[in-house]
Amino acid sequence: MQTRLIAQEKMRSLGQLIAGIAHEMRNPLTAIKAFVEMLPKKIDDPRFRSELLRYVPEEMERLNRIVEDLLDYSRSRPIQLQPTRVKEIIQSVLVLFARRFEAEHIQVKVQAEDELFVLVDRGRIKQVLINLVLNAMEAMASCEDKELIISAEEKAGEVLVSVTDTGEGMQEEQWNRLFEPFYTTKSQGVGLGLYISQKIMWEHGTLLTGSSTAGKGTTFTMRLACANEPTCGKEEKHAALVDRG
Ligand code: ADP
Ligand code: MG
């Protein structure tokens, strides 16, 4: 009897979860559909064209992100480490959001040396950075001064990559639940971004850490293995760490 009740409860939460995700995907789909339907009539209207060019790629990116997050939640693909220039990862993420930074008046600062290399799975670390930048932008949505700082510095054989925002910050109880799957405080959130990011960090043998002050802002820091020789040269130690996972 007890087991059946638990099973029913689980099915109910699963149902709610799926409804949440379906809802989440319907919003961008509705927006894209509306643009496509108006296209034959309004194709010559310059304002329509510029709105279409702004919103459709953004909404498609939102859909894509949800699908990527769900796939990552369910699969465990082995990571492939390679020396990568940190600045390249950062720039590849920032170009994705250039239009949005401008539209939302977000000031972006990058503080990283050109010759700093990390030993990472480039695609997956890029994904962590995308999640952190998205969260930072969302946290600043209703703030006056929006500043996003991405910094990278070498410290004792590691490279610390931090994402800082001047957004709404978090209360302690929020902070304690951040990395739970499906934990979100957003009406438009899925709550997988940080869970998956932490999973990716764990696969790299490291962790995502950070600090936050309600009303002031938040910083998340990725600790990555430095791949600069001979200053760092911690690949072996790092490989041992990764083996563990
Ligand atoms: P989602 O963005 O879909 O809500 P995440 O896992 O990315 O899911 O984040 C979980 C929650 O952590 C968010 O809903 C929010 O409450 C909090 N959070 C994450 N990053 C920030 C940030 N930079 N500033 C304030 N709150 C944040
Ligand atoms: Mg998120």
Q: What is the ipTM of this complex?
A: 0.99
CA 178 to centroid of ligand 1, rounded, Å:
7
Specify the pLDDT at position 14: 74
CA 55 to centroid of ligand 2, rounded, Å:
19
CA 192 to centroid of ligand 2, rounded, Å:
7
Contacts 24+ apart (CB under 8 A), 67-74: 68/127, 69/190, 69/192, 69/193, 69/196, 70/21, 70/192, 72/127, 72/192, 72/196, 72/199, 72/200, 73/181, 73/192, 73/195, 73/196
What does pLDDT average to in each consecutive run of 10 residues of the chain (245 residues)?
Answer: 69 74 84 92 93 88 83 76 95 88 95 95 91 95 95 94 97 92 86 90 94 96 89 50 44
Q: Which atom of ligand 1 is nearest to the CA of 192?
A: 6
How many residues are there in the chain? 245
- Ligand 1 touching residue 193 (CB < 6 A): yes
Specify the pLDDT at position 99: 82
